[in-house]
Amino acid sequence: MRRAVIVGAGIAGLATAVRLGRDGWQTVIVERAPARRRSGYMVNLIGAGFDAAERLGLLSALTERDLGVFTTVLVRADGSPKFTVPAAVAEAAVGPRAMTVFRGDLEAVLFDQATALGGTAPDFRFGTTVTAVDQHPDGVRVELSDGTTEEADLLVGADGVQSRTRTMFFGPDFRVDFPYVVLAFPVAGDASGTAVTHIGPGRTAAVVNLGPERSSAFVTYRCDDPGAELSQGPAAALAGAVGDLAVGLPATVPDDAYFDRVSQVAMPRWSDGRIVLVGDAAWCVTLFAGHGATLALTGADRLGACLREHSSIPDALTAWEATLRPEVVRRQATAKRGMMQYAPPTRFHVAMNDLTMRAITLPGVRNLVRRAIERQSR
Ligand SMILES: Cc1cc2nc3c(=O)[nH]c(=O)nc-3n(C[C@H](O)[C@H](O)[C@H](O)COP(=O)(O)OP(=O)(O)OC[C@H]3O[C@@H](n4cnc5c(N)ncnc54)[C@H](O)[C@@H]3O)c2cc1C
């Protein structure tokens, strides 16, 4: 039986454990957090992400948690409406093979799927991290902070954009920080099925009202010094950057709000022998690309497929990277366009965005948009 140590119980780590466990691998998941993280913002699974969720057996559980599509009400800073993109338009644009779920729900479904694997369910080590790794021709020896040592065939670093596995083995230089921060958190919201959204020069703030336990706020803005923004904490940052906007943001922000800088990871290789990085650790594309969860699921699913096809682990990892890299490169380029949409530099760019969004509501254009989304999601 082949063994893998997976660092990180996020989307990429859990999906890798599900995929490998199905093929008879024994896995140990090492997660730094003391328990499963539940914090959530919304992620879309469209095209390849939806397909990967289906192959990983997640669809029926995810369908129960699908937040569906909603109407977007674009508003001015004072809250007065500019125009509306109805839910039916969004639905027609993304097509039937799409869903929107909270990241925490996707993680919960993956966790349930992993623990239901029976004899190959992962051995979870919460509150634990990797302290040392020795790679030798026949395997990897991994020392953990709980004092135990694991012998494995493969070490998977799925420890996110700040990956310590990456800095330990590949060096410190692959993260590219952008001058933006993002803040996302659950809110009480109402049940109107609307996303009240303001997009102005350098910033976006939205409150998605889908009823109790389903409503959330999302804010992103451009700033010269993301580190200084983060150090003042989410509540002060929220008040300073978007406190003047009437979109329905609450005055308080929960402690477990997602609040981080926006960074990509660009590496020439994602593996070295029997050590491989998956998900944001290897290729973070940023929220502006909108495909991070999709790529984490697709990457894990294809990693399993390549390890099944190739008896040599380094060969499997090389083949896997060749299938995935073009998609990642494309998404990282898309992210740069996304920055213009979420934080348009000038009023002129805001007006151009508005024109594009208004055009989506026209039937002929809607079909074109749908075809473009389908092409881009494959
Ligand atoms: C606001 C927002 C909206 C988004 N929207 C979308 C979207 O619409 N569609 C989409 O596809 N993607 C979206 N994404 C991106 C997506 O959420 C991520 O790309 C995806 O979750 C990556 O998962 P991951 O498992 O690679 O990393 P993570 O989710 O960061 O998981 C890493 C895990 O590793 C653990 N860890 C870290 N360091 C260590 C260590 N040293 N030892 C042990 N454990 C460690 C962490 O605690 C964590 O559990 C969005 C992101 C944001 C922020």
Taking CA atoms only, the protein residue closest to ligand 1 atom 18 is 292
Taking CA atoms only, the protein residue closest to ligand 1 atom 8 is 43
Taking every pair of Cα atoms in the chain, the longest distance, rounded to a whole number of angstroms, is 65
Sign of CA dihedral 166, 170, 171, 177: negative
Taking CA atoms only, the protein residue closest to ligand 1 atom 52 is 287
Q: Which H helix or E strand runs over 181?
A: strand 175-186
Output the pLDDT for position 255: 81
CA dist 143 and 152 (Å) reads 11
Distance from Cα 141 to the centre of ligand 1, integer Å: 26
SS3 350: helix
Q: Answer yes or no: is the C-beta of 287 below 6 A from any ligand 1 atom.
A: yes
Output the pLDDT for position 32: 97
Q: Which string of DSSP letters, residue by residue, matches 145-167?
A: TTS-EEEESEEEE---TT-HHHH
Taking CA atoms only, the protein residue closest to ligand 1 atom 20 is 293
110: tokens are 């993956």
Taking CA atoms only, the protein residue closest to ligand 1 atom 6 is 43
Output the pLDDT for position 204: 97
Nearest-atom index, ligand 1, CA of 164: 41
Neighbours of 153 (CB within 10 A): 17
Domain boundaries, the chain: 3-377
CA dist 144 and 268 (Å) reads 28
CA distances from 145 to 2, 121, 128, 148, 276 (A): 23, 22, 6, 7, 20
Distance from Cα 280 to the centre of ligand 1, integer Å: 6
156: tokens are 């998977």
Residue closest to 221 by CA, chosen among 73, 103, 345: 345
Contact 48, 298 (CB under 8 A): yes
Ligand 1 binding pocket mutation candidate from 31, 56, 109, 165 (most atoms within 8 A of CB): 31
Distance from Cα 258 to the centre of ligand 1, integer Å: 11
Q: Model confidence over 14-49: pLDDT tens digits?
A: 999 999 999 999 999 999 999 887 767 899 998 889
Contact 263, 286 (CB under 8 A): yes
330: tokens are 């494309």
Ligand 1 binding pocket mutation candidate from 287, 291, 332 (most atoms within 8 A of CB): 287
Order of strands, sheet of 175-186, starting from the edge strand that comes earlier in the sequence: 81-85, 71-75, 194-200, 203-209, 216-222, 175-186, 258-265
SS3 content of the chain, % helix, strand, coil (to 5): 40, 25, 35
Distance from Cα 194 to the centre of ligand 1, integer Å: 26
Q: Which residues are bridge partners to 219 per DSSP?
A: 183, 205
CA dist 123 and 349 (Å) reads 50
Distance from Cα 162 to the centre of ligand 1, integer Å: 10
Output the pLDDT for position 355: 87
Output the pLDDT for position 26: 98
- CB neighbour class for 89 (10 Å; exposed up to 12, middle 13-18, buried from 19): buried
Q: Answer yes or no: is the C-beta of 158 below 6 A from any ligand 1 atom.
A: yes
CA dist 13 and 113 (Å) reads 13
Taking CA atoms only, the protein residue closest to ligand 1 atom 3 is 287
264: tokens are 């990509």
Strands 258-265 and 271-272: unpaired
Contact 105, 42 (CB under 8 A): no
Q: Which residue reads 């010269």 in tokens? A: 224
SS3 321: helix
Taking CA atoms only, the protein residue closest to ligand 1 atom 51 is 287
Q: Answer yes or no: is the C-beta of 164 below 6 A from any ligand 1 atom.
A: yes
Nearest-atom index, ligand 1, CA of 293: 11
Q: Answer yes or no: is the C-beta of 9 below 6 A from any ligand 1 atom.
A: yes
Contact 299, 274 (CB under 8 A): no
- CATH class, range 3-377: alpha beta
Output the pLDDT for position 361: 74
Which residues of the chain fall below pLDDT 70? 39, 363-378
Nearest-atom index, ligand 1, CA of 44: 8
Sequence-ordered list of residues with C-beta below 8 angstroms from that of 45, at least 6 positions apart, any chain: 53, 62, 98, 99, 100, 101, 106, 293, 294, 297
CA dist 189 and 70 (Å) reads 14
CA dist 272 and 159 (Å) reads 16
